[in-house]
Every structure is written in C-alpha cells, then in structure tokens.
Structure 1
Amino acid sequence: MASCADILRSEFPELDGEVFAYVTGILHSSGADFESVDELVEAVGELLQEVSPDGKDERAIREVCQRLFNCLQLDEARAQRCSQVLLDAPIQLSQITDGYDASADMLPGLLLKRGQTSVVNTKKLEKAEAKLKAKQDKRMERDFVKSSGPLVLEEATASQAASKKETRMESSGKNKSYDVRIENFDVSFGERVLLAGADLNLAFGRRYGLVGRNGLGKTTLLKMIATRSLRIPSHISILHVEQEVAGDETPALQSVLECDTTRESLLREEKELTAKVNSGRGEGTEGARLSEIYAKLEEIEADKAPARPDLLLLDEPTNMLDVKAILWLENYLQTWQSTILVVSHDRNFLNTVATDIIHLHSQRLDMYRGDFENFMKTKEERLKNQQREYEAQQQYREHIQVFIDRFRYNANRASQVQSKLKLLEKLPELKPVNKESEVMMKFPDGFEKFSPPILQLDEVDFYYDPDHYIFRSLSVSADLESRICVVGENGAGKSTMLKILMGDLTPVRGIRHAHRNLKIGYFSQHHVDQLDLNISAVELLARKFPGRTEEEYRHQLGSYGVSGELAVRPVASLSGGQKSRVAFAQMTMSCPNFYILDEPTNHLDMETIEALAKALNKFRGGIILVSHDECFIRLVCHELWVCENATVTRIEGGFSQYRDILKEQFRKEGFL
C-alpha cells in the first residue's frame, strides 16, 4: 500500500517543498491523534486545497484525506503488532541531509532542497498549525476529564461594572424605584462568554419575553438575576420558576400558582367569615373554620411570602402544561401587576402575554416594544437598514480610496489626499449583518407501502388501578399518511395511550395491532432521563449503535445542529434544547417509518421548532404526536384527537375548534 508521502506526491506532483515537509511532518508526528477523517481535513485540508495546482474542490480534497487517514490507520495497526523494527542496513544521516540547506529560513524541523524557493502563504501554515495544536489540547483536556473521575460541570459567572451613583443610593436607602437597571455586565459559562457589555432595563409592571437560540444563555441569565450575581436593589423581591427542577410530577409553575391562588382564596374566605362573626350573622361554625384557615395560612407562610413578588422570572413556563392550562396562564399573567421576565418558545403565548421582547444574540441584548410578531417585523427591518447602511458606506469608502490611490503620488493633490485619508479615519466602522445560521433537520425516510391496518387499537380497556380506568373501549387507528396531534388535560391519558400504541403497555382488554414491518421511533417528554449525561453525544451514539465510524456519528448529530465541540462535550453541559437535539439524532439513527412524539417542542427555540415542523412535513411515514404548541400543531398536523373521559374523540374542526371549546368552558367557569 502506498505511503502518505507517495499519496501526496501522486496527488500534488508540484507541491511546494515546505508544504510537503510540513504535511508529512504532521502526519508522521500526530497521525495517531486523528480519530476521524474530519479531523484530518480540518488540520490540513484547507492548506492542500490552496496549493492544489489543478484546483481540487472540497470533495476531492476530502477523498485524498480519506486515503491519508486509511494509510495512517494501517501504519498504527502495524506499529501495535511490532514494537521493534530491525533495519536491513545502517542509515547514514549525511546521505539524508545531503542536498538540503539547514540554514534556510523555514519552520522548525523542516528542510528545503537547495535552490528551491517556497511560494506558500506562511500565514496559512501558521493557521493550520494552530488548528492542530488547539485540537490536540482539546483532546488532552477531554481525556483528562475522562480519567479524573466524576463529571464536574462548568459554572456560570457574572460580572458588572460598578456604578458609584447606584451604590450610593442603595446604601443610603434612597433608591425606591422598582425598575430594574443592570448596565454593562458580562455573563460567562466556563470559558464561553455568553454576554459582554450588555444592558438590561426592565420597567416595573411590564412583561418581557426573552428569546434567542438554544445554548446562548437565556436560562443562565435568569439564574444570574435570581441569585443576585448581577446587582439588583435589595428592596426588589424576586421569584424564579426554573425550567427543570427536582421533585414530583407537578410542574414548578403550577405549584407556584396554586400557592398564590390558595393564599388569595384563604384570605378572601377569612375576610368573609370575620365579617359574618362581627356582624352577628354567623351560624356558630365560623370559629372552627377560621382556625383551619389560620393554620393553613401559617403553613404556606402567607405573611412571609407575598403572592406578588416585584420581579417574576419564568423559564419555559408552558412546558408540561396542557392547552387548557396555557390558556388559563395567559389570562392570569395579563393581570399580574409587577414585572415579568419570561423565557418561552411559544409564539402564541408571547403574543398574548409579552409587552416587550428582549432578543439575546451575538453576546448582547436588544430591546423591542410590542409582542413577538411585532418583534419579528421590526427585527427584519432593522437588519435590512443595517445592511443598506453598511453597503452604502462601503461604496463611499471605495470611492474615496479610488481617489487616494489615483493621486497618492501627485504633489499637486497632496493636501486633498491627506484630507481624504483623514475622512476615512473618521468614518464609523459599520459591520455587515451577521445573520444567524439556518437550523436544519432531516428525518430519514423509511417509507415502504404496507397494506392496512398499520397501527390500531380495538376496544381497548386500560387501568393502573382497577378502581380507576384510564381508557374504556378505546378504538383508534393510524397509517403511514397520518399526521395526528393528541391533546387533552394533563392526566387524561395522552402519554399512556402513546405507550399502548408502541406496545410498551399491554391492554387489560382489547387488541393492539401493528404491521410486522412497522418500525417506530419514540421521543419521550422525559427524554433527558434516557440520556447518559456523563458522556458526549458522539459516545452516546457509539454505545447505542456500535460498529460505525466517528464520522457517521458526527454527521448524524450535525443533521440536528449538534456539531463541532458540542458533539464532544458532556451531554450534561448542553442546554435543554441541545439535549433534545441529541435525543432526535439518537431516535432517527435507525430510520423508523413511523414516529410517536411526546411533547417534542419542549426546550426547543423557535427556529428549531420551525425546522422540526419542516422535517416532519417532508418525512414520508406516519406521525402521532402530543403537543401543546399551537403554531407547531397547525404547521404539522391534519387530524386532532382529544383525550378525555376515558376515551379519544376526533375533532373535525381541528385546533381552532378545540381552542373555541376551551374558551367557552372558561367563560362558563368565570375565568374569562
């Protein structure tokens, strides 16, 4: 088999001597460190493409790197089989160095033939060398973490420039404002800078929606505020409802709101009973009930924890809530008298609740008045104006530069040239629009035509407790063209029905039928529990689907936006949305032809939700999903099943009709 040097000579016959020596040096000294052809391409691919005399494209360069990688793998295998090699004859170093000039200007350890001049871009060599060193350092760090025992996650930190005026007002007790002003602050997570020189101004009584891509630091920012790592006036009380909390199955927000409504209800009843006793209209039972109320108020510490904190921080509050609960929450938060800062991916929720939008991107925060739809329109207009201003300035700069270049050496125009140069220096430096990369997702097709029925439940009964049936006489069916959304109140049995459909739960009575060639991919609303958080996403796939190359695992993860260093970081260090993407990559690796998805949009940012919807619409196979995200449901689903009263009902009018039904229920109950 040809050596690496032979491959380089055959593919690049006119390769510059310095580049040849540099590349072969990397291959021989660091070949064992390359775990995939991707790493080899990253180390030397760009350099080889630049010096290629026949203009090889990226695909051709990758093929060359694949041959080099295969050669290195073979050399490594030989080295493991043979720890010592006997030479056939002595080697004379003078013969090796003959014809080379050791005094030539070169990179350390590289040799050029006499009379040969290098035409390579030295900066490219330095860049390639730096890339390789960074990759080796990262691998050493990763290996150290693996060998050093239990996983230790990075911690978030915040720093803020001190304001003498605010410090003086705070210490004197003169600051009575309930507005929150945090200026010129930084937030980092380990070595990653999330926010730099940012400003956050929250006017009391307004409701702010915080939006941005997964992993940019929205949750971290809320934690920095809640823990007062960022300076918040001491007289401002803060309540923080986190996205992920340990405990029972009750959503965190539901617990908070139940506490709030319970407190208000108890205080109202206490007032009514006291009024009866004082007026003499009592029936004699008021005293006992008042004792119960006082005990309950003391239990929930009603006097110490006011129902309405000055600043309410909510992180993805609609996660795990059903549609009915979300409608109630939207109405409830609109009556909140103090300030709200909420992270949410739900467009409809933000359009209903938010009075302002804060956009986290490029390590800064941009403020927009109005709801989410207004934010989208205004942001697009801002970006267009920014790009127009940049292009206009570039044209102006070029116009001035042409004049300078033309008359630079003309003595008669010297004063004008100097004036133009000063003008260029004074121009503000505008930057082109830095558009966020589009999120891409693809669900591989596993489509083949089956004769029906594909997936069916016939007269199914199911219960965990014989005294409480979850389903009675349930009959539903789906095929490979199905796009079904299941809705209903929490506890109505949505997730249970999905597990019966998959065969994870066995009916007490009735029949589940699934086609013998049906391959189901399942996404659980508790998908994080199914991931090993102590290993990387690449290792996760390698354990689940052994026998494939690292390149295949990386490609699979990259299809869901988990690329680069994200793929080799411990899963525990990823954001909620990034963990969901890892779960999608794992679910689709085996190419199912039918997907059952339980709350797939939880933790995902809006761009990823839209990409998920597009991917599902292109997928040629069946889909049943549980979701509360109205926008997502309307994009994907053609059929709506309502889970209630131990059965499932199909609503012909789709989500619009279901929403109207819920609103009517609220009106009758006095909530709207």
Structure 2
Amino acid sequence: MSLIAIQDLSLARSQVLFTGVSFTIAKGDRLGLVAANGRGKSSLLRIIANEEDATTGSVTPARGLVVAIAPQDPPERLLSLSFHDAVRDALTPEVAETESWRVDILLDDLAVDEAIRDRAVRGLSGGWQRTMLLARAAVVEPDLLLLDEPTNHLDIGRIGVLERVLGAVPRDCAVVVASHDRAFLDDVTNRTLFLRPEDSADFSMPYSRALQALEERDAARDRQFENDMRKVRALRQQAAKLKNIGINSGSDLLVVKTKQLSQRADKLEEQARPGHRERSAGMIRLTNSGTHAKALVTIKDTGITAPDGRLLFRTGRYWIENGDRVALLGANGTGKTRLVERLRASLAGSDPDIRRATSLKLGYSDQALSQLDAFATPWDAVKRSSNLPDHQARSLLAGAGIGIDAQAAPLARLSGGQRARLAMLILRLAQPNFYLLDEPTNHLDINGQDMLQSELIEHGAACLLVSHDRTFVRTVATRIWVITNKRLIEVDDPDPVFDRLMTG
C-alpha cells in the first residue's frame, strides 16, 4: 500500500537542485536517499514532511499518515531541555500525560545511560544530539520515519545500536534515510534513490548494488549517446553531399531529400542524452611532501590515561613507517581520542615514549574541524596558510566548492561539507608527510569520501586515522590497531572488530 506519492517534484534555489522527481513510498520500504552535498536531500525530506514547499510538483500522503523527521541539528528551543524531556516534548500533551513510558522504553532500546537522560541537550555531544533527534521521531510511532544523516558523529557501537533499533521498527512503517555512510545504507535499506538535478534514479536494492546498476545504466546511455551522435554526423555528411549534387543538377527532389536528412539529424541530436555527470561539490586534494626516514613515528610501551589520570590502556611497542595508513579502532571511551591527542602533543613537542623522525611534518584534522577556528573566513584561512597570489587562492577555494560569494563570508555560514573540504585544502597547503585524522569523513558526501580515499592511497600518504566509516577504513587502511582489554593490539582484518563493536 502506498503511504505517500511524490509526482514531478522540482526544487530551485540559487540553482536547480532537482527536477522531475517522481516515486512512491510503500509500507515496509527502507529507502536510501543519496546525493552530493548541497543537492537537496535535506530539502526533499522536509518537503515530504510538509515542512518546506517544492518549486513545482505534488506530494500526496495517504489519509491520516503520521510522518516524523529526525533532522541533522536540534532546534534552538530544545537546547535547554534535558535529553529525556526533549524526547517527551515530541508527544502530544495528552499522550505525554498517559504514555510517557514510551520515552523510557525507547531510551532503553537506544542504550541511553541514565546520566545522559538528565543532561541538557546543549551540553551533549553531536552523537548524543543525533540520538535524541532520532528518539523524538521514533517515539511518536510514525507511519513514515525520515532520517537526515543519522550516523554523523556516532561511533561504531552506536551505529550498531541504531541499526538494531531500525531493524525493530514495525514492518508496516516506512523509513527514508539520507546518508553518506555506505556500509550503513547497505545494512538498513532495500531501495536507493539517487537524487540528481535531472533524471534521478530509483533502484529496488541497497546502495552498493544500486550504485553498480546506476553506473551500468549511465555507461549504457553513454554508449547510446555516442551511437546517436555518429548517426547525426553520418546524416549531416549525407545531407551535405546531396545538397552539392542537388545544386549542381538543379534537382528539386534532392533539395527536399537534403532538408529531410538535416531535420532527422537535428531531431536525433536534440533527443540524444549522454550519461549523467555528477557536478562535484568541490575537489579534495592532498599531498605528501616526502621523507627519507623509514620510521616516522616510534611508540614505546607507554600508558595512555584519562584526564583524571586513570589508565585507559598500554600501547606496547609500535611504529608507523612511510606509506603506512593505520586505522585506530575501539569502543567508545577506550581512549582513541586520548591517543590521538598524545600523539599530536608529542609530535608538536617532546615525549620520552613517542619519538618522531626529524623530517616529519604533521597535518592534523579533528572531527570538529577545530583547526578552522583560528580563521575568520575561507579567504583568511588560505591566505594565512600559504604565500599564494590572490588569483590562485580564489581558484583553490572555488575548486574546493567554496564560491566567490562565500570566500569572504564568515566560516559559520559554510555547510558541513564545505568546512570539511576547506579543512582538507588547508592540510594540503601545509604539505605534511604524516596525517593525523580524527573522523575525516564527517560531513563529506560519498563523492568527497571517494576523493579522500583516492588521495591518501595514490600519494602513499602516511597517516593514523580514527573513523566510524567502515567502508572508508576497509578501503584506506593498510594496518589496523585495536584498543581492547586495556591493550593496543594489531590485527589483520577489521571486519571481526567491526562486528564486535556493532553488537556491543
């Protein structure tokens, strides 16, 4: 049964985001919504939720349909409420009075600690705020659940909790997920809609299989386009020959035939369409300035401690060589961030247990992109990070997806994707030979993730990275370090670690 029908939808802002989008959502659908940053995914969700108007087209819900949306960020009015009260606020006063137990059961399912439930939303991490927004949407028991980037800021363990909660959603409830997390989409969806400026594509399969089908369809259309254009050229060549013969012979029949051939060529050329070419939200380029040192970082057996001095784990003896791409995995609270902080401090100063090669040049990015806080605008960031002439600085910013109008604007006005690309650009300008990356794919769309993967691999960059993105880790990492039982160990295969972290 169809819950909602979307017909010939289009949306234009400063540019056309999408046109001619038509699809239906039925009971039990688990639809993944995929597009580049800034291409209208969040807007489409809000249109479906009747929170925003489309430029053209129609959205027709079933009678009595209950729709709930979990946006990316909490509204201002919820920030002063406790986690528990912010979720309870989603219920009508009558339901909250008689069925507030729904909140407690759902928060148990979401493995929300009692201490978290009483804390103000304003003071929560991005991951807990996302969990609160999901709980608000789910607690109303909707017929259609809309989720906007639900895994952003979540560690692997909490992604596992989210997947289990979505797996327990009643089968007659439909779920639409806008996400850049490829493994998550494969796990929780059975349909994929690729949202495009025109000719959006809907496949009844999860992301990875749908992407393969989409690429095959685009390749087939490219082949058809090339065949059509060959026919166009052949028709025009024939028309030109007949025109010359007709002029020389004075034959009216050949003049008519020439006109017919030209019209056929024009019509075929007008109808011919190449395969889709995604407009990039901005390039991601890195560099590796190179070093002759074999071991860039050497770690003696040392203790990594919490801020209160409590031992989190011991490292054992490890080193990172030129070209190593080390992924650091572990449950939340085991000390991943503390190791990153210790490494950063030691590489910037001195540490008796962590030695660096004299030629090491560090490039650092944390999950909050706090390295951008020192700059007022994107222009300021590039100019203070380089000696580039103005025209080249503007070109680099534009190439990173930051247009001329945004280059002198406050950084706060940038989207998450633009901030992530700007951070990668600043890293590139520093010309490091060792990258320390904490959740580098946060806010990056799939195209951006692919670019970052390619840059790290193709340039043979040495790095240590922390990431909850399983696809990114599988693709990039050459070594896997795991924090477990208060020890740092190295394993060959990340998948058993992912499985253990996902199941808690």
TM-score (ref. length: structure 2): 0.75
Matched, 1:448 2:281: no
Q: Which residue of structure 2 lines up, in the alignment, with residue 652 of structure 1?
A: 491
Distance, in Å, in 2 between the alignment partners of 1:194 and 1:622 is: 38
Rounded Cα–Cα distance in structure 2 between residues aligned with 1:220 and 1:539: 31
Deviations along 1:50-74, one digit per CA (max 9) or x if unpaired, are: xxxxxxxxxxxxxxxxxxxxxxxxx
Q: Is the 8 A contact 1:446 1:620 kept in 2?
A: no
1:501 is aligned to: 343
Q: How many angstroms does 1:503 deviate by?
A: 0.9
Deviations, residues 625-663 of structure 1 (Å, cap 9, x unaligned): 101112211221122222345x34224232023134447
Match of 2:156 in 1: 323
Q: Identify if the C-alpha distance between structure 1 residues 256 and 353 changes in structure 2 by more than 3 Å, giving closer, same or farther.
A: farther
Aligned to 2:26: 203
The alignment status of 1:586 with 2:394, answered yes or no, reads no
1:525, distance to aligned residue in structure 2 (A): 0.5
User: Aligned pair in 2 of structure 1 residues 476, 312: CA closer, same or farther (>3 Å)?
Assistant: farther
Which AA in structure 1 matches 2:158?
Answer: A
Using a 3 Å threshold, how does the CA distance of structure 1 residues 367 and 570 change in structure 2: closer, same or farther? farther
1:219 and 2:42 matched: yes
- Where 1:198 maps in the other structure, the secondary structure is strand
Among 179, 188, 198, which residue is 2:12 paired with?
A: 188
Instruction: State the AA in 1 paired with 2:149.
Output: E
Question: 1:432 is matched by which residue type in structure 2?
Answer: P
User: Helix, strand or coil: the match of 2:16?
Assistant: strand
- Is the 8 Å Cα contact of residues 327 and 477 (structure 2) preserved in structure 1? yes
Deviation at 1:590, TM superposition (A): 1.6
Do 1:383 and 1:433's aligned partners in 2 also have CA atoms closer than 8 Å? yes
CA 504–204 in structure 1, closer or farther in 2 if over 3 Å, else same: farther
Shift of 1:228: 2.7
Residue 644 and residue 262 in structure 1: after superposition, are their counterparts in 2 closer, same or farther (change >3 A)? farther
Work out the percentage of aligned pairs sharing the same amino acid: 26
Q: Which amino acid aligns with 1:435?
A: R
Instruction: Name structure 1 gaps, 5 residues minimum.
Output: 1-176, 270-299, 667-672
User: Could you report, residue by residue, the CA deviation over 1:539-590 in whole angstroms, capped at 9, with x for unpaired residues?
Assistant: 3222x33654223423544664556666566544443222201011112322
Larger Rg belongs to: 1
Alpha-carbon distance in 2 for matches of 1:619, 1:256:
46
Q: Measure the CA separation in 2 of the matches of 1:597 and 1:404.
A: 61
Pairwise CA distance, 1:474: 4.1
1:484-529 Cα offsets, whole Å, 9 max, x none, are 111122232211221111118999x984444454322111101168
**2:200 pairs with 1:365:** yes
Trace 1:362-401 onto structure 2 (pairs within 5 A): 362-363=197-198, 365-401=200-236
The total of aligned residue pairs comes to: 445
1:397-452 deviation line (CA, Å, top 9, x unaligned)? 34444444414652244554565566557656222234236775432223223375
Residues 118-140 of structure 1: per-residue CA shift (max 9 Å, x gap)? xxxxxxxxxxxxxxxxxxxxxxx
Q: Distance in 1 between matches of 2:441 and 2:185?
A: 15
Contact kept, 8 Å, 2:32 with 2:179, in 1: the verdict is yes
Return the letter of the residue paired with 1:327: G
1:155 equivalent in structure 2: none
Would the alpha carbon gap of residues 244 and 585 (structure 1) be closer, same or farther in structure 2, given more than 3 Å must change? farther
Distance (Å, rounded) in 1 between the aligned partners of 2:424 and 2:204: 35
Counterpart of 1:374 in structure 2: which amino acid?
R
Q: 1:590 to 1:354 in 2, by over 3 A?
A: same
Residues 533 and 197 from structure 1, CA distance in 2 versus in 1: closer, same or farther, beyond 3 angstroms? farther
Answering whether residue 192 of structure 2 is matched by residue 350 of structure 1, we say no
Matches within 5 A, 1:54-93: none
Letter in 2 for 1:186: S
1:327 Cα offset (Å): 3.0
Distance 1:558 1:480 in 2: 34
Match of 1:524 in 2: 366
Structure 1 residue 318 displacement after superposition: 1.7
Partner of 1:539: 380
C-alpha spacing 1:377/1:454, structure 2 compared with 1 (3 Å): closer
Alignment of 1:104-119 (within 5 A): none
Could you tell me which residue of structure 1 aligns to residue 96 of structure 2?
none
Q: Which aligned pairs between 1:400-415 and structure 2 lie closer than 5 A?
A: 400-405=235-240, 406-407=242-243, 409=247, 410-413=251-254
**Structure 1 position 629 matched with structure 2 position 469:** yes
What residue in structure 2 maps to residue 614 of structure 1? 454
Match of 2:338, SS state, is helix
Cα offset for 1:475? Answer: 4.1
SS in 1 for 2:152: coil
Pick closer, same or farther for the CA change 1:648–1:378 going to 2, 3 Å.
Answer: same
The residue that corresponds to 1:239 in the other structure is 68
What residue number does 2:319 align with?
Answer: 478
Q: Secondary structure at the match of 1:351?
A: helix
| Structure 2: runs of 5 or more not aligned | 54-58, 92-99, 109-132
Looking at structure 1, the residues matched to 101 and 369 of structure 2 have their Cα atoms a distance apart, in angstroms, of: 33
Tell me the SS of whatever aligns to 1:464: coil
**1:532–1:192: structure 2 CA closer, same or farther, 3 Å change rule?**
farther
SS across alignment from 1:179: strand
